[in-house]
Structure 1
Amino acid sequence: MSRRPPPNAIDWLLSVAVVLLAIAEEIGDHLLATGRPHPGWWIPAVIAISVLVLLRRRAPFTVMCLHSAASVAALAHFGEGVATWQFHTQLLLLFTLLSELPLRDPRVVAGLAATAAFVSMMMLTPAGSWGVGEVTVALGAASVAGIAVRRHRQIAVQARERGELLAREAVREERVRIARELHDVVAHGVSAMVMQAGVARLILRSDPVTARETLNVVEEAGREAVEELRRVLGLLHTGSECDGLAPQPRLARLNDLVEQMRAAGLDVELSVEGEHVPLPVGLDLSAYRIVQEALANTLRHAGPTEVRVTVSYRPRALWLEILDDGPRDGHTRQAGGPGHGLVGMRERVALFHGRFSAGPLPGGGYGVRVTFPLPAEAGPGEAP
């Protein structure tokens, strides 16, 4: 059972409004009619009803029944007509009941019965100013408004839940795809280790120096494979099938990617800054995929436009920036949700404890910025 919300600012304002309306009507009308002060018996009733209004969303059924019972009892005892503020309060409570509880709830039926009793007693008293049509329209408007508000809330909740489900599914799919790629990286590394270990075994007696160097390579490849395997296990709790044995792309192949995007219509400018450093295979692959996805998103949402891709090797960090100028010729960027592209980029960056940002640029266009921290052993060298 869901908890009812505590009184908010609107509840307080409505409670005060009921008090002010009651004071204006009871005192003002009585002075105009008799020229004498109004008896004070109604003051406790107004205070009690204002408290009910304040708590209307916490217990809509109980509040409506209390108000209806008290009003009917007062009408039966005093025999006077229903004041405007009393009727408006009943309409408010009817609206609250229908907006907070589903129509199939038996408490709604009981609440409607309580309202019917209130209206019946009101029509039987000598009010004079209440017409059947007026009362019917007011009750119908309050009921329709309450049902519409509840339906709107239901749609909003369903949309939010559906969005959360789609987001979780997108994250799961992207993690599976990333894990498959890293699976290939580990598979290639282990295959190379097996081959090199076999070579070392064959030449161990005839060329021990070369065998020792080969074993050093095997050791280094093993460490890298273990690190990538740790990332895969941290990303997924279950294994996944390998998509193939083809080598995975790296930043060294960005020129090929740029040429493909140029052929597709993007005016891509690639800039590489700083001295190349050898990167872990998984990080190298993820950096390439982020640039690839960012360019694909630009082509998908902005169409043919200018894009600047910057790859910067900085001290202990790899920095990526993909900035586009937005659609050309006055065309607007196609709207769309975050989709799998941004989800996948965020997952890749989070996998290596990096920083990710994406969004519109102040002068127009869209930008993606990524920072990958590099391991301490990374040093100057040639890109693999």
Structure 2
Amino acid sequence: MRLTAPVQTRARVESEARAWLRRRPAGLLPDALFALAIAGFAQVNLVFQLDNSTPYGPMPAVASSTLVATSVLALRRVTPLATAVLVAVAVAGPMLVTPLTVTLWGDFLPILVASYSVARHSERARALIGAAAIVAGLVVVFLRNPESLTAGNLPFVAVPLAACLIAGRVLRARARSQSDDRARAQQLEAEREGAIQAALAEERARIARELHDIVAHCVSVMVVQAGAAEDLLDRDPQRARAPLQSVQETGQQAVGELRRMLGLLRGERARLALKPQPGTADLADLVEHMAGIGLPVELAVEGPSRPLPPGVDLTVYRIVQEALTNALKHAAPTTAHVVLHYDDQSVRVSVRDTGRTDGPGRAGADRVGHGLIGMHERVGLYGGTLEAAAVPGAGFSVTARLPLQAAQR
């Protein structure tokens, strides 16, 4: 059901009042005390003026007019427009029936307070309506009391009234500016917090990839070496010591890397003796390590080698590590060939093994497993491409190309 304009206006006023009361639940108390003080003083002033035989018109009308005009000031911040209209009606309404003398405390002071309040706490259109209502009330007062319309009274009324209206608008503009500044600061703070959370999530994802690469490599090596040791225990127990020792060393390495990574997550960076991240300079050691645990690897470098950006350098190493680990895990016994090719615009790394392609997980799980997913994520981070597929005849090939210009941005 669509609301009519008056209903919408009333609903908006009530909504604004409720919102104000939620923001300032104790705001009515000081305004009520303020209105009570003015009302009491105005009534006492009326009695004092009556004792001195000052002509005020019918006393009940004057008392009622001042009581209404001062009492409604308790709502000056809740409903400023209604307050301004009620004050104007209370002051000028009785004048339509009988002329009354306007008092300073019971009539003029409420007019000034209501003028300031409607200018300070209302939007522009509502403030204009409230000011117009007050001006209309004053016009009625002057018309019903021609003797009060003198050259001296006009500035006495117009100057304070204009000052209250201007002061209210200026203070409202300042409060609005401060509110906008606070909202902008809160928005910037929220955006900064969001950026921090995004950076933390990205860092956690990076650490998760590192953990996967390290632990997957170590566990795969331990599984292969444990299987080799089991085969040798009955035939040649002395030779079984070497793979068992490799299992022990690899397990210690995995535990150390896990402790280091978890220390980073706990903020223990300062107490950890961190090693630099591996890169292409460590590929020879990786090849030697893989050869020592049963995977002969040949490494070839094509083109003039050059320093790579740290992220690209680490990505190349992790791709080779993951590809060799997969070959050892799924295609053994086999050999592998690693080719690192440099050109002016990119670096390309290719890892190819000569093992079987029908091993468990080689044709299925590895293609969609965490290893290849991690490779794709690493390569995609630097705008590169990754191709992984079985080689016709025998073997499996992983080729990644990383553009250098994208990595330097």
Aligned: 1:99 with 2:120? yes
Give 1:171 shift: 1.5
Residues 96 and 87 of structure 1: CA distance in aligned 2, closer, same or farther (over 3 Å): same
Query: Which residue of the partner structure matches residue 45 of structure 2?
Result: 25
Aligned: 1:87 with 2:87? no
Letter paired with 1:4:
W
Contact 2:80 2:118 in 1 (8 A): yes
Contact 1:189 1:221 in 2 (8 A): no
Contact 2:75 2:83 in 1 (8 A): yes
Distance 2:51 2:139 in 1: 29
Contact 1:196 1:215 in 2 (8 A): yes
Query: Which residue of the partner structure matches residue 191 of structure 1?
Result: 213
Residues 55 and 188 of structure 1: CA distance in aligned 2, closer, same or farther (over 3 Å): same
Distance 2:39 2:164 in 1: 21
Aligned: 1:142 with 2:161? no
Number of matched pairs? 235
Contact 2:219 2:251 in 1 (8 A): no
**For 1:186-239, what per-residue CA distance to the aligned partner results, in whole angstroms no more than 9, with x for missing partners?**
33222211321232243221346446646855885898799899x89xxxxxxx
Distance 2:168 2:132 in 1: 16
2:128 to 81, 85, 109: 109
Q: SS at 1:117's partner residue? A: helix
Mark the runs of 5 or more structure 2 residues left unpaired by the alignment: 1-14, 230-239, 275-409
Residues 136 and 160 of structure 1: CA distance in aligned 2, closer, same or farther (over 3 Å): same
Contact 2:84 2:111 in 1 (8 A): yes
Give 1:102 shift: 1.6
Distance 1:118 1:201 in 2: 96
Letter paired with 2:169:
I
- The structure, 1 or 2, with the larger RCO (C-alpha pairs under 8 Å, 6+ apart) is 1
Query: Which residue of the partner structure matches residue 4 of structure 1?
Result: 20
Give 1:161 shift: 0.7
Contact 1:64 1:93 in 2 (8 A): yes
Distance 2:55 2:101 in 1: 19
Query: Which residue of the partner structure matches residue 164 of structure 1?
Result: 186
Letter paired with 1:177:
A
Residues 253 and 200 of structure 1: CA distance in aligned 2, closer, same or farther (over 3 Å): closer
Give 1:155 shift: 1.3
Query: Which residue of the partner structure matches residue 118 of structure 1?
Result: 137
Give 1:183 shift: 3.3
Give 1:89 shift: 0.3
Residues 249 and 180 of structure 1: CA distance in aligned 2, closer, same or farther (over 3 Å): farther
Matches within 5 A, 1:262-341: none
Distance 2:163 2:43 in 1: 26
Query: Which residue of the partner structure matches residue 224 of structure 2?
Result: 202
Letter paired with 1:14:
F
Q: SS at 1:78's partner residue? A: coil
2:272 to 239, 244, 252: 252
Give 1:92 shift: 0.8
Residues 132 and 44 of structure 1: CA distance in aligned 2, closer, same or farther (over 3 Å): closer
Aligned: 1:75 with 2:91? no
Residues 89 and 192 of structure 1: CA distance in aligned 2, closer, same or farther (over 3 Å): same
Distance 1:153 1:133 in 2: 29
Distance 2:269 2:261 in 1: 20
**For 1:295-353, what per-residue CA distance to the aligned partner results, in whole angstroms no more than 9, with x for missing partners?**
xxxxxxxxxxxxxxxxxxxxxxxxxxxxxxxxxxxxxxxxxxxxxxxxxxxxxxxxxxx
Distance 1:253 1:152 in 2: 55
Letter paired with 1:199:
V
Distance 2:55 2:86 in 1: 33
Contact 1:60 1:100 in 2 (8 A): yes
Distance 1:35 1:72 in 2: 18
Contact 2:66 2:91 in 1 (8 A): no
Mark the runs of 5 or more structure 1 residues left unpaired by the alignment: 233-247, 255-384
Residues 39 and 80 of structure 1: CA distance in aligned 2, closer, same or farther (over 3 Å): closer
Give 1:140 shift: 0.8
Q: CA RMSD in A?
A: 3.6
Contact 2:84 2:133 in 1 (8 A): yes
Distance 1:162 1:225 in 2: 40
Give 1:70 shift: 2.6
Query: Which residue of the partner structure matches residue 132 of structure 1?
Result: 154
Give 1:16 shift: 2.0
Residues 171 and 71 of structure 1: CA distance in aligned 2, closer, same or farther (over 3 Å): same
